[in-house]
Amino acid sequence: MLGLAVNELMVIGMLLSFITLLFLGIPVAWSLAGVSLGVALLAIALNQNLGVDTYFLDSWRDYSVIVQRIWSLMENGVLVALPMFVFMGLMLDQSGLAEKLMSEFAATLGRYRGGLAVAVILIGILLAASTGIVGASVVLLTTISMPIMLENGYDKRLAAGVIASAGTLGILIPPSIMLIIMADQLALSVGELFMGAVIPGLLLGFAYLAYVVLAVTVKPDLAPRPENPDPLTARRLLRTLGAVLPPMALIFAVLGSIFMGIATPTEAAGIGALGAALLALANRRLSLSVLYEVARRTTLTTSFIFGIFIGATAFALVMRSLGGDQMIAEALKAIPFGNLGVVVTILVFAFLAGFFLDWLEITLIFLPLVGPVVVNDLGFDPIWFVILFSVALQTSFITPPVGFSLFYLKGAAPDEVSTPDIYRGIIPFVLIQLAIVALILFIPDVVTWLPELVYG
C-alpha cells in the first residue's frame, strides 16, 4: 500500500517537474531525459534502502532497458520518412513555388472581392499537402501575402486570421509529419491515418473559404474590390493552371502512391524529396548553396525531433514502470460523463496543453497514455480518435493568447499589424475549428468513411 502511494506521488512529481523545467526554459529533450533519470534513481534508492516497492525499477539494470528502447526507435522504418518529408518541405520553401502561386492567384482571383484571401487559403491547402511544416508555412504565407493584402486595402484582422489559419492546415492535411509520429506511437497504419485526415482537412479548408466569401459579402469594407482590373483572359487562366499543376503533381505522386498501395510512406517520402528538388531546379532555384542549407536545416530539425523522441522514450519507460499509465487510465475511467465525456475531457486537456507544448511533446508523452484507454477500454475507433485529437490540437495552435501560429505570424508580419489585430482576426477561424471538432465528434463517418471504403 505504501509502495502504491509512493508510486503515485512520484508520477505526479514527474509531471510537475517536467512542466517546471519547461517554464524555466530548459530544452524539452533534456527536461524529459533528466526528469526520467532523476526519478529512476530516486525509485531505485527507495526500493533498496527503504524496501518500498516501486514496481520494476528495482535496480539500475531495470532502467538500462532504455538502451534497447532507443535501438528499436532507430530501427523503425516508418520514422525514416521524417527527414525526407522535412527535406521536401524545406526544399519547397526554397523553390519559389509559393511565390509563383501567390503571383498567379493574385492576378486571377485578386480582381474579385476577397479574392486575395481566397488565394491565400488555396495556397495554404496546397502547401499543407506539400510541406506539412506549420511554422514555415505561416511565415512564408505572411511574407508573400500580407503586404499584398494590406496594399489592396484588406482589413488587417481578416488578413491575419486567414494567414494564420491557412498556414496551420499542415498539421492535419497529409502528408502531415505529426500524423506519421502519431501512427508510430499507437501502432496504426500511416496510409489509413492519412486517408482518414483527407475529408476533415478539406472540410476545414473549404469552411475557411466559405467564411471569407460570406464575410466580404456581408461587410464589403473588409476586402475592397480593385478598381479597373485587367480582363480575365484564357492566357491568364492557363498561366494560373500552369502554376497549380506542379504542386498538384507532387501531391499526387506522394499521397497517390501511398493510397494506391504503390509505395510505403517511407518510399513516398523519398519521391516527395526528389520531386521538391526537381521543382526547385525547374524554377532555377536549386544550387549547391541551397542544397547545403536545406540539408543542414533538415539535419537540425531531424536531430531535434529524435532528441525529443529519446527523452520521451525514457520518460515513458519510468512513468509506466511506476504505474503511471494505470493511474491515468483509472482516472479517465472514473470521469462521470460517460465514454464520450472521457473523450471530450481528453480533447480539452490536449487543447490546453497545446498552449504550452509543441505538438511533438504532446504526441510523444500525452497521446500514448490516453490512446490505449480510448481504444481498448472505451472501444472507440483509433483512426477516428487520432484525427479528432489532431484537430483539437490544431485548434490550440491558432487560439489566443498563446497559439504558436500567432507568434509565427507576428514575427513575420509588418509592424502595422498589432497583436490585438491578430487575436481579433483569428476568432472566427477558431470557431470554425471548434465546429469541425464537434462534427467529427458526433459524426465519426467524416473520418472513418474513406479509410473503410478504400481499405475495408
Q: Kindly tell me the burial class for residue 2, based on how many C-beta atoms sit within 10 Å of its own C-beta (0-12, 13-18, 19 or more).
A: exposed
Distance CA 129, CA 5 (A): 48
Distance CA 66, CA 57 (A): 12
CA angle at residue 354 from 349 to 356, to 5 degrees? 105
Q: What is the grid cell recorded at 77?
A: 522504418
Whether 205 shows a pLDDT value over 60: the answer reads: yes
Distance CA 54, CA 24 (A): 29
pLDDT for res 18: 85
More confident residue, 366 or 216: 216
pTM of the model: 0.87
pLDDT for res 1: 42
Which range of 8-22, 172-186, 207-221, 362-376 scores highest in mean pLDDT? It is 207-221
pLDDT for res 57: 60
pLDDT for res 431: 94
Whether 436 shows a pLDDT value over 60: the answer reads: yes
Cell numbers 530544452 correspond to what residue?
27
200 Cβ contact list (under 8 Å, min separation 6): 172, 387, 391, 436, 440, 446, 447
Query: How does 286-311 read in b/e, with b if 16+ C-beta sit within 10 Å?
Result: beeebeeebeebbeebbeebbbbbbb
Confidence of residue 58 (pLDDT cuts 50, 70, 90): low
Of 126-130, 280-284, 382-386, 414-418, the one with minimum mean pLDDT is 126-130
Give yes or no for a contact between 101 and 54, defined as CB atoms under 8 angstroms apart: no
Compute the mean pLDDT over every residue in the chain, rounded to the nearest whole number. 84
Confidence of residue 60 (pLDDT cuts 50, 70, 90): low
341 Cβ contact list (under 8 Å, min separation 6): 335
Q: What is the grid cell recorded at 189?
A: 497504419
pLDDT for res 102: 83
In 3D space, the residue among 279, 277, 298 whose CA is nearest the CA of residue 288 turns out to be 277
Per-domain residue ranges for the chain?
79-301
